[in-house]
Amino acid sequence: MRPKPGTISCMVASSDSYARTWGMRLRSMRPGFSPSAPSSTSGGSFGLFAEPPTVAAFAAAGAAAGATTVEVGPPYRRAIPDQGRTVLRRRLAQLWRELPDDAPVLILMSGIAGGSHDKYLKHFLRRAHRAGYRCVAMNCRGTASSPLTTPQFYSASFTGDIRAVVDELHGRWPGAKLFAVGWSLGANILTNFLGEEGADAKLTAAVAMCNPFDLQLCDDALQNGFFGKVYSTTMAANMGKLFEPHKHLFAGLPLYDQDLVFAAKTVRDFDEAVTRITFGFPSVDAYYDASSSRNKIADVRIPLLVVQAKDDPIAVHAAVPHAEIRGNAHVILLETATGGHLGWTAGAEAPFGSPWPDTGAMQFFEAIRAGVGVAAAGAGDGAAAAVGAGAAAGAGADP
């Protein structure tokens, strides 16, 4: 049930789960408890409140319902308020019937304020489709005209949505190998997810392009460099446009100020007004520190190809965690002298078609898919070299 204007939707946990809302956790709550009339969803019960519930109000309600603990916790990243996964299942059931069940699956994750309409994503999608991949373009909450039904956008650290997509696809095609490619902010989210999952990741391999890695350093570039300022101003305007249709969902959230949202002139301003508030961070700097994927790259345990440009004015070269990458045999770093931020143009399809990194990325996927270098994974420094050699062996031919 969609909340009416002026109300908010709040997740209420069952006895086997817990909800994290605005940094608060309620544990061991009796099944079926709801402070107001609930509506059933696959994620639990949702209650509607005319006014935003405070921590004290939730504590009192939880105690009345038999909750054993009510405590303040860290910002949530893995909990996922339900947005209608039955709709996802219904749509997927109508697609891709011409492919065999064991066809490889590729998830594509665009950059900030982007989505399935982005040209770089479409170029890669066509290439993968020609190679027989089942392609899934992931639109983050509120992007690409997708609906938003909860007071939460996506963020650089929130991995709940990509985890839900991976789990859904793995459950639907358990015999297929899963791959993923991410660009810019999508690359950061993907890397964070892979680090959190470690050896339990259901993905076979992944590619990350123009990953900002260290959001503090990249924010400095956005504030001080000419191209950074242009990019930041443009992205803030785009985020404001995405937010506008859903602003009523956020009304009443603690510390939320709608005037700050529409006064935002930079990405940092928007993160201050929306992102850090809805995800429970005490400051933008705390959000950037916790969300930087350089903190997770060392924990990646599947083959990951990282492609960066040294002259990138957004995902700056200083942000790349070279030491951590050198110490992880599962990660390959490819850096180019030029290319800007997703600005590579060389290649067989240049200047209007697919950029050259797409060819290498697909060759990397095909090498992993064929098992080249996989046996060496975890065997030391030679593992990454073996995978890299396998990817290079296929150079020269488009899929």
Task: Give the active site residues.
Answer: 184, 312, 341
| Radius of gyration, CA atoms only, the chain | 22
Cβ atoms 391, 360 nearer than 8 A: yes
296 CB neighbour count, 10 Å cutoff: 23
Cβ atoms 344, 109 nearer than 8 A: no
CA 397 to CA 221: how far, in whole Å? 37
Cβ atoms 179, 205 nearer than 8 A: yes
Paired with 333 in beta bridges are 306
Give residue for tokens 């019960």. 45
CA 75 to CA 257: how far, in whole Å? 19
Token pair recorded at residue 148: 């938003």
| Residue of 75, 66, 65, 64 lying closest to 25 (CA atoms) | 75
Query: If DSSP codes are grouped into helix, strand and coil, which group holds residue 330?
Result: coil
| Residue of 308, 327, 332 lying closest to 386 (CA atoms) | 332
Backbone angles phi and psi of 96, in degrees to 5: 60, 25
Give Cα 95 to chain centroid, integer Å: 23
| Residue of 179, 181, 204, 161 lying closest to 108 (CA atoms) | 181
Cα diameter, the chain: 67
Q: Kindly give, in sequence order, each residue whose CB lies less than 8 Å from that of residue 130, ignoring residues fewer than 6 positions away.
A: 399
Cβ atoms 44, 17 nearer than 8 A: yes
Taking CA atoms, 231 is separated from 225, 291, 343, in Å, by 10, 20, 13
374-392 burial string, b = 16+ CB within 10 Å, else e?
Answer: bebbeeeeebbebbbebbe
229 CB neighbour count, 10 Å cutoff: 16
